[in-house]
Structure 1
């Protein structure tokens, strides 16, 4: 599995709010049954509630989404839906948001 890949959210109870999941786990750990993911939600739903450095923005199919780093979680990899797109171009911002969540810097 590719780090920084975006997948469809297959969870019926959360996919309306969070249609996509961003896989942030290292591919060195592909043998694990779980993946660390961050949900993505439409930026338009979070007007003026973005947190600089913590919730970077990604564009998926022409729509802006926030990376909701504070909601990062582990899920079973069988619960990842179809691959949508690669976001490795935003690697630095994504890793910075995780670092900010953990260290505050």
Structure 2
């Protein structure tokens, strides 16, 4: 199984740990509570960190599969959200005209 020996986690294990610490920070807890009305769930970041460490120690295929599944779910979740701004196909027709910043309405 050469694939098992050369496979690396999608992120460094320390990245999962940093994400978990950020998720549990007071600032992030306050932001999520204010924005969404609930505290964030940080369990997946910790689980991913533990699976990453397990994979580094034992090369466990269960840990590898769990990490891959978790990253796939993150990508799918990220793609569900629509962009905040509508992207333009071309610049506005009057893009070269000066702005009306100094004029009062």
Could you state the TM-score of these two structures normalised by the residue count of structure 2?
0.30
More strand by share: 1
- Relative contact order, CA 8 A, sep 6+: which one is greater? 1
